[in-house]
Structure 1
Amino acid sequence: MLQQTRWVFFCAAALVAGAAQATDVAVVGLFPGKAVLVIDGGRPATLAVGRSTKNGVKVVSVQGEQVIVEINGTRETLHLGQRVVKSAASTEAPTVNLTADSRGHFLAVGSINGAPMRFLVDTGASMVALGRADAERARIDYLKHGRPSVSQTANGMVRTWVVKLAEVNLAGVTLHQVDAAIHDSDLPVALLGMSVLNRMEMQRSGDTLTLRKRY
Structure 2
Amino acid sequence: MKRTDLAVYFIMGTANCTSDPLIVLEESLKAGITIFQLREKGEHALKGQELEHFAIACQTLCKQYHVPFIVNDDVDLASKIDADGVHVGQDDRALEEIRTKFKGKIVGVSVHAREEMMKAVEGGADYVGIGPIYQTKSKPDAKKPAGVTFLHQARIMYPEFPVVAIGGITEQNASEVVQAGADGVAVISAICESPNIPATVQSFHSLSQDFK
Would you tell me which structure has more strand in proportion to its own residues? 1
TM-score, length-scaled by structure 2: 0.27
Would you tell me which structure has more helix in proportion to its own residues? 2
| Structure ID, larger Rg | 1
TM-score, length-scaled by structure 1: 0.27
